[in-house]
């Protein structure tokens, strides 16, 4: 066993003595030792209940003959970090989470790992660690939050963000907002729509590194605890069979995940995280692959924020297995691949049925003929930009308008709430990329404010930062190269005409290349916004959004 390196033999008597100081017996030390990475804390609603999930995981490990050893990781709730300096630290926390799991699993050579996660950057951070370490491992999420209920309508966190804009226009009173905020998010779990956390938890299923149901069983459902117990048991089987993460995380598995992503219209942030996870598995995914798969994969689920359904509805309709089975019917996914169940994709999804054909539509009746995400290229984004096409109103799929340029999210939000934006504008927010932000903040506040004041079908937003999976409208992010690296977005000026063609996958600044080059020649990079600490170091190391915002190797 891998753990023998720290517990077996004469020279390991001191080590065993230290284990015994924690109450472990010789019998326990003779069994496989399973690291249980638990990201529970009291500052994320999706993680407030993870100690209970961890307990179920540990019970499953013990049932299968292993000994669980729990340790912790950090975690940030993007919703709570949104709109202030805290959001600068969210994307950067992904690398810290991956590193912390790696450090623990190298310092303590566990025989296997169960990674308990749920929200935002914690999910991809755990998945990156799994791929990097390549020891038997399985991912378990805490499950999605249920929707709330307000005045006869279902609610989620985006409802509250957009209500702020409604208060600003007088459409809603402050008292109504106070009432809404008390009911919109009714309990534990990752926020109820197909936002980043739920997108990634569902894609863990599609990749094959989590059990079926991982992405959709509600946090408060007893089936969530049963799944956790099954995961604890299953990791012992992975050890016995010698199944490693990289046996599962193949190029074809990532192709499956991107296809499922397009079919359910996931968060734009998946275009950051899937390439980063692939990199840790020794593979390369570029943004063009997303376009290639998007253009052939139909959009079958219309989930919040782009549509009326939520993750609990997707679960009720058959979940990711039913969606994957429907995609397999058209040959859109690889079904022969190995998964952490020990079975193939085909064996996992073989008996799955679509139980609500409106929530998961058939290939014959898609919401859209192509996928939920689109990658745009052009002279303002030579390395690409990302938009959640399924959440864009039809009239905004093609748009040309004058640029309104802001050097930060805060400046843009003030202008939106002050009603300085007019119909047809293309709002440009720059110096919010991985390096320039630093940390590539999610900007749900500006997009929600635009929706809240009723202009999401009248203006576009373009940024080298990123958007929450809860964003809807013509919000185009991840513009690469970013402004802080001297990308063309750095020299866009107020009044410049910008053309957006989402069906044509095109983003064009109506200037000659000579004019752009001259402006770049005269451009000076501003001082970094953070000059010390972790995010200062992060800014020196991080690469472009188009490569997943991973750390440079050299």
Distance from C-alpha of 50 to C-alpha of 42, rounded to nearest angstrom: 10
Structure tokens at 406: 């802001």
Single out the residue of 143, 283, 302 nearest to residue 210, CA to CA. Answer: 143
302-329 residues labelled b (16+ CB within 10 A) or e (exposed)? bbbbbbebbbbbbbebbbbbbbbbbbbe
Q: What is the rounded CA–CA span in Å between residue 47 and residue 320? A: 22
Distance between CA atoms of residues 516 and 489, nearest Å:
10
Rg (CA), the chain: 23
Is the preceding peptide bond at 144 cis, omega within 30 degrees of 0? no
Q: Name the DSSP letter for residue 284.
A: -
The one-character DSSP state at 42 is S
| Residues contacting 491, CB < 8 A, separation 6+ | 516, 519, 520, 523
Q: Is the backbone of residue 96 left (phi > 0), alpha (psi -120 to 50) or beta?
A: alpha
Instruction: Note every long-range contact of 286-291, with CB atoms under 8 Å and residues 24 or more positions apart, other chains counting.
Output: 286/546, 286/547, 287/375, 287/383, 287/384, 287/386, 287/546, 288/375, 288/384, 289/255, 289/258, 290/258, 290/262, 290/373, 290/375, 290/386, 291/374, 291/375, 291/505
Distances (CA, A) of 310 to 264, 359, 499: 11, 9, 32
Q: Give dist(CA 208, CA 277) in Å, integer.
A: 13
- Which residue carries 């961890």 as its tokens? 54
Evaluate the CA torsion angle 51, 52, 54, 55 in order and state its sign. positive
In the set 468, 480, 543, 546, the catalytic residue is 468
Q: Is 352 a residue of the active site?
A: no
- Which residues have C-beta within 8 Å of that of residue 441, sequence separation ≥ 6? 87, 88, 90, 91, 409, 432, 465, 466
* DSSP-derived secondary structure for 315-381: HHTTHHHHHHHHHHHTT-S--S-B-TTSSBHHHHHTT---S-TTTS--TTS-SBSS-S-EEEEETTE
Between helices 122-133 and 270-280, what is the axis angle to 10°?
Answer: 20
Contact between 2 and 109 under an 8 Å Cβ cutoff? The reply is yes
Active site residues: 468
């Amino acid at each position: 066993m891998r753990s023998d390196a720290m517990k077996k033999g004469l020279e390991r008597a001191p080590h065993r003595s230290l284990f015994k100081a924690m109450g472990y017996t010789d019998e326990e030390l003779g069994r496989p030792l399973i690291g249980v990475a638990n990201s529970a804390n009291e500052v994320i609603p999706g993680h407030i209940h993870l100690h209970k999930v961890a307990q179920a995981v540990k019970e499953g490990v013990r049932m299968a003959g292993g000994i669980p050893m729990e340790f912790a990781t950090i975690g940030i709730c993007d919703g709570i970090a949104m709109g202030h300096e805290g959001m600068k630290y969210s994307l950067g926390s992904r690398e810290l989470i991956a590193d912390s799991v790696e450090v623990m699993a190298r310092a303590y050579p566990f025989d296997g790992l169960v990674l308990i996660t749920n929200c935002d950057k914690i999910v991809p951070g755990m998945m990156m660690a799994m791929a990097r370490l390549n020891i038997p491992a399985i991912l378990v999420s805490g499950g999605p939050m249920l929707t709330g209920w307000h005045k006869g309508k279902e609610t989620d966190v985006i409802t509250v963000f957009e209500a702020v804009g409604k208060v600003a226009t007088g459409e809603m009173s402050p008292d109504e907002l106070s009432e809404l905020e008390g009911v919109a998010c009714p309990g534990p779990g990752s926020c109820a729509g197909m936002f980043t956390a739920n997108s990634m938890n569902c894609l863990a299923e599609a990749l094959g590194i989590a059990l079926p149901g991982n992405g959709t069983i509600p946090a408060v459902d007893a089936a969530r605890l049963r799944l956790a117990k099954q995961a604890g048991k299953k990791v012992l089987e992975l050890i016995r069979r010698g199944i490693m993460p990289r046996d599962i995380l193949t190029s074809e598995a990532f192709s499956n995940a991107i296809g499922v992503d397009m079919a359910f219209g996931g968060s734009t942030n998946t275009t950051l995280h899937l390439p980063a996870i692939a990199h840790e598995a020794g593979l390369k995914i570029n943004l063009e692959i997303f376009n290639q798969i998007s253009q052939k994969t139909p959009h079958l689920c219309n989930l919040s924020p782009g549509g009326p359904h939520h993750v609990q509805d997707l679960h009720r309709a058959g979940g990711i297995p039913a969606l994957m089975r429907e995609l397999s019917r058209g040959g859109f996914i690889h079904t022969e691949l190995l998964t952490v169940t020990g079975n193939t994709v085909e064996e996992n999804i073989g008996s799955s049925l679509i139980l609500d054909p409106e929530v998961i539509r058939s290939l014959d009746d898609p919401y859209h003929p192509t996928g939920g995400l689109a990658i745009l290229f052009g002279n303002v984004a030579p390395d690409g930009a990302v938009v959640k096409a399924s959440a864009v109103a039809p009239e905004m799929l093609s748009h040309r308008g004058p640029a309104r340029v802001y050097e930060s999210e805060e400046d843009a939000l003030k202008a939106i709430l002050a009603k300085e934006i007019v119909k047809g504008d293309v709002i440009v927010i720059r110096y919010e990329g991985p390096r320039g932000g630093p940390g590539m903040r999610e900007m749900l506040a500006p997009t929600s404010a635009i929706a809240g004041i009723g202009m999401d079908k009248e203006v576009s937003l373009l940024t080298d930062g990123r958007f929450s999976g809860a964003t809807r409208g013509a919000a185009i992010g991840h513009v690469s190269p970013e402004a802080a690296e001297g990308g063309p977005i750095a020299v866009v000026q107020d009044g410049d005409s910008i053309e957006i063609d989402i069906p044509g996958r095109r983003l064009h600044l109506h200037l000659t290349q000579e004019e752009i080059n001259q402006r770049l020649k005269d451009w000076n990079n501003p001082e970094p916004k953070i000059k010390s600490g972790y995010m200062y170091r992060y800014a020196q190391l991080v690469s472009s959004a188009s490569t997943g915002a991973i750390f440079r190797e050299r």
